[in-house]
């Protein structure tokens, strides 16, 4: 892995990079007991400043496009997809961002519950397929705990980025993690959480040519240690370079609004206008809505009004598929035919949802004749 530029510097040295590397690194808030405050040492990469993404047409690069969407007005709505069929349906419905849920990926690829069973290879394999369907549409992908220590987290980031994923989120659960909406969760220390986020940021900044890949810090500590601890962890994660903050399992509207107020107040407390400008974009908030889960079923409009910038519906396609497939299978078992469950959709109509027309058109443009009649 190529060495990354050190963006963990004193704010006073942002415009005068004359400090030596050891001095700059000493300003990073490696632990809550550090004598260095976040104001003294904060990650800042001027290339990734949101002001650079406010104008111009949306980029065909999915990571750049996601940064443009985050910098501009409006909430980013990302439905959870679990396979190629659900991804095609989401694109057909007009969604401009997709979410690859870890739970959905584990269920669809392995037929297993979300209990740290899927591996990096499972997640990357799923992402390769999803990102290929429309390479311009940003895909936000679950990366669980990063699948290991700093070196493994760096590998995760680089593989996701090379696959075409626009953003990932890394959490602070222990390696034997579970779905964030199940009970009995355990989390790692603040220090280990920050190490994970810092490793992801350094890996992103090491990608040759400069990557716009978005790093999302997720904490599951609200249910284990309380909301104050969760907000503190995300504040520290933002200081080491996280672009978006994600508290999993927010139980009430008041807690989400409290998160927005606290993060905004932390930004406004800075005595430095420069510091405020550098920090303000780091408090983009993501909310995860799962019907029947810990978080209330906020609508997109409600979440936006409460200050969320991204809303994901992790299991929207997976749960719908379970209901639809169960009904179809039970009906087939009972009646001996799939006529009713097909609802008039013939094979060609099904393949059209999967991009049939695009493939046939491309084949003809290249001079092929195999699909002239289909």
Catalytic residues: 99, 114, 142, 144, 169, 171, 179, 218, 248, 288
Packing angle, helices 316-335 and 102-110, rounded to 10: 30
Q: What CA–CA distance (Å, rounded) separates 241 from 157?
A: 14
What element of type H or E holds 78?
Answer: strand 76-81
Q: What CA–CA distance (Å, rounded) separates 112 from 116?
A: 10
Q: Which two tokens stand for residue 253?
A: 């509207």
Q: What CA–CA distance (Å, rounded) separates 186 from 179?
A: 11
Residue 369 three-state SS: coil
Q: How far is CA 102 from the centre of its chain?
A: 11
CA 266, 293, 302, 97 dihedral sign is positive
Q: What CA–CA distance (Å, rounded) separates 280 from 95?
A: 27
CB of 139 closer than 8 Å to CB of 99: yes
Q: What CA–CA distance (Å, rounded) separates 347 from 363?
A: 20
Q: Which two tokens stand for residue 336?
A: 């001996």
CB of 144 closer than 8 Å to CB of 125: no
Residue 100 three-state SS: strand
User: Terminus-to-terminus CA distance in the chain, angstroms?
Assistant: 48
Question: CA-CA distances (angstroms) from residue 16 to 4, 9, 12, 24, 205?
Answer: 18, 10, 8, 12, 20
Q: Which two tokens stand for residue 35?
A: 């004598």
Residue 321 has a CB neighbour count (10 Å cut-off) of 19
| DSSP bridge pairs for 100 | 81, 141
Q: Which two tokens stand for residue 106?
A: 């584990």
Place of tokens 């190529």: 2
């Amino acid at each position: 892995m190529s060495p990354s530029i050190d963006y963990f510097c004193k704010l006073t040295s942002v415009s005068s990079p004359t400090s030596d590397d050891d001095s700059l690194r000493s300003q990073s808030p490696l632990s809550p007991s550090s004598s260095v405050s976040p104001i003294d040492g904060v990650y800042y990469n001027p290339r990734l400043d949101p002001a650079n993404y406010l104008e111009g047409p949306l980029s065909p690069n999915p990571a750049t496009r996601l940064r443009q969407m985050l910098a501009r007005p409006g909430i980013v709505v990302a439905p959870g997809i679990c396979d190629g069929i659900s991804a095609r349906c989401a694109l057909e419905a007009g969604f401009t961002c997709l979410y690859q849920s870890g739970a959905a990926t584990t269920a669809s690829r392995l037929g297993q519950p979300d209990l740290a069973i899927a591996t990096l290879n499972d997640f990357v394999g799923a992402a390769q397929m999803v990102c290929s369907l429309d390479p311009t549409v940003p895909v936000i992908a679950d990366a669980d705990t990063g699948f290991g220590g700093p070196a493994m987290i760096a590998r995760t980031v680089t593989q996701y980025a090379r696959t075409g994923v626009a953003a990932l989120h890394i959490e602070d659960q222990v390696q034997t993690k579970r779905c964030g909406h199940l009970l009995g969760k355990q989390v790692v220390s603040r220090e280990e959480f920050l190490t994970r986020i810092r490793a992801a940021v350094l890996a992103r900044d090491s990608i040759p040519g400069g990557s716009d890949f978005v790093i999302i810090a997720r904490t599951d500590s609200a249910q284990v240690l309380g909301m104050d601890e969760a907000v503190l962890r995300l504040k520290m994660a933002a200081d080491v370079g996280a672009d978006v903050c994600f508290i999993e399992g927010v139980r009430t509207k008041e807690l989400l609004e409290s998160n927005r107020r606290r993060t905004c107040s932390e930004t406004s407390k800075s005595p430095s206008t420069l510091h405020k400008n550098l920090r303000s974009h780091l408090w983009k908030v993501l909310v995860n809505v799962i019907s029947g889960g810990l978080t209330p079923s906020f609508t997109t409009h409600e979440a936006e009004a409460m200050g969320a910038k991204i809303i994901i519906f992790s299991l929207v396609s997976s749960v719908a598929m379970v209901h639809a497939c169960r009904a179809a299978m039970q009906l087939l078992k009972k009646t001996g035919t799939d006529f009713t469950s097909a609802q008039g959709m013939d094979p060609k109509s099904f393949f059209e949802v999967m991009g049939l027309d695009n493939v046939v058109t491309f084949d003809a443009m290249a001079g092929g004749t195999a699909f002239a009649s289909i």
